[in-house]
Amino acid sequence: MAISKVSALGIHHESFSFHMVLRPVGISASEGKSLRKFPVISALDWRTVVIGLAADSGCGKSTFMRRLTSVFGGVAGPPKGGNPDSNTLISDTTTVICLDDYHSLDRHGRKENGITALDPRANNFDLMYEQVKSLKEGVSVVKPVYNHVTGRIESPELIEPPKILVIEGLHPMYDPRVRELLDFSIYLDISSDVKFEWKSQVSLSLSLPSLSLSLSLSLSRSLLLWLLVWQRDMAERGHSLESIKASIAARKPDFDTYIDPQKQHADAVIEVLPTQLILDDNEGKILRVRMVMKEGVKYFDPVYLFDEGSTISWIPCGRKLTCSYPGIKLFYGPDTYYSSEVSVVEIDGEFEKLEELIYVESHLNNISTKFYGEITQQMLRHADYLGSNNGTGLFQTVIGLKIRDLFEQIQAEAASKQAITSPK
Ligand SMILES: Nc1ncnc2c1ncn2[C@@H]1O[C@H](COP(=O)(O)OP(=O)(O)OP(=O)(O)O)[C@@H](O)[C@H]1O
Ligand SMILES: O=C(CO)[C@H](O)[C@H](O)COP(=O)(O)O
């Protein structure tokens, strides 16, 4: 057992294979005495890998997380016996923390100060940094919970160090200290046209009661709660759809100032744009999806199509891939993104028959699958998830596989270091 330092925050360790009862970060020593009600951490035989997923609300993070969890098998759910309004999702391998829990100003406080949740002043980055760092070092934390129903910060919950910690939300790459802790980062970049189309679809369907139930099943909890508040506003104050559109637009200045710039720091960006297959299309129904992958990122080899480093435009429609109007087109090539060298794989259009995706998969390389057709199998398994017939679902699945690969490489490296430092 190797203990590197004892701090006021808890006991940190440098070895990843020891057994010790630790006091979670975020609670005082006296509170720690009543810790018996919390489970206790012991025997970490992995090194927690930290992934950042940044996006505006309602941009597909929940669907992405469901695909990621599925790559590792098992089902994700809220912490057992914890706060019923928890935003956390835990599975055997992954724990997904929603960064809304680090709002330092509740809804009332933000209103009083005239600032939005996107404004860094409404968020506690010191606590976010301290807790993500602790989890990465194998120390449990007691994290606040932001309740999207009441708009208040509520009684905290215990989070134990998982194998893979995903921090998702508005600001995972905003604070340089938190950014430094990320082993891999992703930004979901939904163009304004598409974002607007997605939000209006949701709003429209909620005004049609027969569609509400089926839709609500595919919505993330926070989006659903936001919509319920919105519905209440509609009923109580007679807000029009136009005013809701205006309230979405009101977020834009802070989005442009604080959220969007984070994409320059991301290791992978999934861009979702209107199709170019239909002239002047700005409906945002058929999507052109680009996976922008930084070169030179440790443990991450960018995906390529056919021939690494070349520039390729491919229309696979024909004998092996059924396409209906407006068809489907792939692109692969090098590019520059915020002065970084990147590779881009792009898919414009929709898959007609999901099982034929195997044809496209077989021409993609560096996809980190464990067997032939694994991507197609995942996509078929979750055919009912949003974006399964286009590049959004495909690239989310690919990134899920790349995260699994990154996790395995990091564990293998940690294990070999461990073997060197403590030989038998
Ligand atoms: N791939 C997709 N294709 C089409 N629509 C999508 C897709 N992903 C998300 N959407 C739209 O965006 C909405 C929100 O999706 P989701 O709940 O996954 O987002 P979220 O970022 O987790 O939201 P929140 O931040 O509110 O928790 C969906 O109900 C749907 O209307
Ligand atoms: O941008 C958001 C992230 O999901 C929310 O608007 C933010 O968390 C504030 O939540 P609420 O509107 O429920 O008070």
Query: Which domain, by its residues, includes 394?
Result: 267-368+387-408
Instruction: Give the pLDDT band of residue 206 (cuts 50, 70, 90).
Output: low
Where on the phi/psi map is residue 397: left (φ > 0), alpha (ψ -120 to 50), or beta?
alpha
CA dist 163 and 297 (Å) reads 20
Nearest ligand to the C-alpha atom of residue 224: 1
Encode pLDDT of 214-273 as tens digits.
444 455 556 666 666 665 555 544 445 576 577 678 889 999 999 999 999 999 999 999
CA dist 38 and 26 (Å) reads 13
Residue 410: predicted pLDDT? 95
User: Where do we find the tokens 């002065």?
Assistant: 339
Q: Which atom of ligand 2 is the closest one to the Cα of 251?
A: 1
Pairing of strands 141-147, 287-294: unpaired
pTM for this entry: 0.85
How far does CA 175 lie from the centroid of its chain? 17
CA dist 397 and 332 (Å) reads 18
**C-beta of residue 344 within 8 angstroms of C-beta of residue 286:** no
Examine residue 311 and state whether it is found in any structural domain, yes or no. Answer: yes
Examine residue 58 and state whether it is found in any structural domain, yes or no. Answer: no
Give, for ligand 1, the residue of 65, 89, 386 to mutate: max count of ligand atoms closer than 8 Å to Cβ. Answer: 386
Per-residue exposure over 54-68, b if at least 16 CB sit within 10 Å of its own CB, e if not: bbbbbbbbbbbbbbb
In terms of Cα–Cα distance, which of 151, 270, 248 is closest to 202? 248
Encode pLDDT of 32-80 as tens digits.
333 333 433 445 678 999 999 999 988 899 899 999 999 998 788 888 8
CA of 346 to the centre of ligand 2 (A): 31
CA of 222 to the centre of ligand 2 (A): 7
Give, for ligand 1, the residue of 223, 270, 384 to mutate: max count of ligand atoms closer than 8 Å to Cβ. Answer: 223
CA dist 90 and 97 (Å) reads 9
Give the residue whose CA is nearest to atom 10 of ligand 2.
148
Examine residue 247 and state whether it is found in any structural domain, yes or no. Answer: no
Pairing of strands 89-90, 94-98: antiparallel
The secondary structure element, H or E, covering residue 272 is: strand 268-274
Examine residue 143 and state whether it is found in any structural domain, yes or no. Answer: no
Give the residue whose CA is nearest to atom 8 of ligand 2.
100
Instruction: Give the pLDDT band of residue 198 (cuts 50, 70, 90).
Output: confident
CA of 59 to the centre of ligand 1 (A): 5
CA 33 to each of CA 28, 30, 83, 127, 160: distance values in angstroms, whole numbers, following the listed order: 9, 5, 21, 22, 18
Examine residue 278 and state whether it is found in any structural domain, yes or no. Answer: yes
Residue 243: predicted pLDDT? 61
Q: Is pLDDT larger for residue 345 or for residue 323?
A: 345
Q: Is the pLDDT of residue 329 over 70?
A: yes
How far does CA 82 lie from the centroid of its chain? 22
Nearest ligand to the C-alpha atom of residue 146: 2
Examine residue 259 and state whether it is found in any structural domain, yes or no. Answer: no
Q: Which atom of ligand 1 is the closest one to the Cα of 223?
A: 26
Residue 110: predicted pLDDT? 96
Number of domains comprising the chain: 1
Q: Is the pLDDT of residue 14 over 50?
A: no
Torsions phi, psi of 379, nearest 5?
-65, -40
H-only helix segments in 352-390: 357-361, 374-381
CA of 60 to the centre of ligand 1 (A): 3
Question: Is the CB of 151 within 6 Å of ligand 2?
Answer: yes
Examine residue 356 and state whether it is found in any structural domain, yes or no. Answer: yes
Fill in the amino acid letter for 372.
Answer: Y
CA dist 55 and 260 (Å) reads 8
Torsions phi, psi of 123, nearest 5?
-130, 145
Residue 43: predicted pLDDT? 52
Give the residue whose CA is nearest to atom 6 of ligand 2.
117
Q: What is the DSSP string of 166-234?
A: EEEES-TTTSHHHHHH-SEEEEEEE-HHHHHHHHHHHHHHHTSHHHHHHHHHHS-HHHHHHHHHHHHHH
Examine residue 308 and state whether it is found in any structural domain, yes or no. Answer: yes
How far does CA 119 lie from the centroid of its chain? 20
Encode pLDDT of 94-131 as tens digits.
999 999 999 999 999 999 999 999 999 999 999 999 99
Mean pLDDT of the chain: 84
Encode pLDDT of 138-183 as tens digits.
999 999 999 999 999 998 999 999 999 999 999 999 999 999 999 9
CA of 135 to the centre of ligand 2 (A): 24
Give the residue whose CA is nearest to atom 4 of ligand 2.
57
ipTM of the prediction: 0.96
Q: Is the pLDDT of residue 3 over 80?
A: no
**C-beta of residue 166 within 8 angstroms of C-beta of residue 97:** yes
**C-beta of residue 400 within 8 angstroms of C-beta of residue 71:** yes
Q: Is the pLDDT of residue 1 over 60?
A: no
